[in-house]
Copies of this chain bind each other. A is one copy, B any other.
Amino acid sequence: MVDTTADSDLLDLRKGRPAAGQDPMKRAQIIEGARRVFIDKGFEAASMNDITREAGVSKGTIYVYFENKEELFEALIEEERGTIFKNLYEVLDHFDDLRKTLVKFGMALSVKITSARVIQAQRTVVGAADRIPELGARFYERGPKRGHDRMMVFLNEAVSRGLLTIDDVDLAAYQFTELCLAGLFRQCIFSYRTKAPSQSEIEKVVRSGVDVFLKAYGSEQLFAEERASQLA
């Protein structure tokens, strides 16, 4: 059931009457319903009637806003992707202490990726990737790929500061990401874990991952600096 009170509240906020299929409030309402249905049933099992019910919007209206089921799904995934990766990489914007920054970023990343909602979204995308490969590709490209690129910039910066010694930064960026997720992602996505890992567990994995990463790529200068700050 939909909350009609909240619905009218939303409507009251509109400045003027939008053109057919152009009201962003209604659009959001539809997508929110679609989110609930698609995420917990997958693309195929989800029916437009379910979404109609869940969104509290008539079927006719949905088809004014979206061409068909697939387009609605893509719009949803597009939005999901946006909220997942938003503000995820800003930790990398200003770094002082390299190790701390890596841990902070690794934590943010790992917490996000293994959260119940994000795992479910990823499952849905993966499950649909067979039938709509472009969707999966676009999700990866505008999500994980973008983060990877950002990570490369960060690592290059660290290299040019003499803190890291890396010959293949591209590969190293992947390795860092994987180290921060060691085991967790796979367990979550196969629903071997039914709940998201705890904060402390993630911290353990990330700290160890950063240790491994820095033992492999940390420069003498970095270790010297760390020893110095240890004494102070």
Q: What is the interface of chain A, defined by CB distance below 8 A to chain B?
A: 40-45, 120, 123-131, 133, 136-137, 139-141, 144-145, 148, 168, 171, 174-175, 177-179, 181-183, 186-187, 189-192, 194, 204-205, 208-209, 211-213, 215-217
A166 to B176, CA, bound (A): 19
Check B40–A42 contact: CB distance below 8 A: no
Kindly report how many copies of this chain are found in the complex they form together.
2
A177 to B120, CA, bound (A): 23
Check A171–B182 contact: CB distance below 8 A: yes
- CB-CB under 8 A from A124, the residues of chain B are 127, 130
Check A130–B212 contact: CB distance below 8 A: no
Partner of A192 from the list B141, B174, B212 (CB cut-off 8 Å) is B141
A141 to B215, CA, bound (A): 31
The DSSP consensus for interface residues of chain A is helix
Check B178–A182 contact: CB distance below 8 A: yes
Interface centre among A42, A191, A205 (most CB of B within 10 A): A191
Check B208–A168 contact: CB distance below 8 A: yes
Check A192–B136 contact: CB distance below 8 A: yes
Check B136–A171 contact: CB distance below 8 A: no
A203 to B192, CA, bound (A): 29
Check A189–B129 contact: CB distance below 8 A: yes
Check A126–B189 contact: CB distance below 8 A: yes
Q: How far in angstroms is the closest Cβ of chain B from A97?
A: 20
Check B127–A42 contact: CB distance below 8 A: yes
- CB-CB under 8 A from A177, the residues of chain B are 182-183
A148 to B131, CA, bound (A): 31
Check B182–A175 contact: CB distance below 8 A: yes
Q: How far in angstroms is the closest Cβ of chain B from A115?
A: 15
Check B137–A209 contact: CB distance below 8 A: no
What are 21 inter-chain pairs, A to B, with CB distance below 8 A? A42-B42, A42-B128, A42-B130, A43-B44, A120-B130, A123-B126, A123-B127, A123-B130, A124-B127, A126-B126, A126-B127, A127-B130, A129-B189, A129-B191, A133-B191, A137-B190, A140-B186, A140-B191, A175-B209, A211-B216, A212-B216
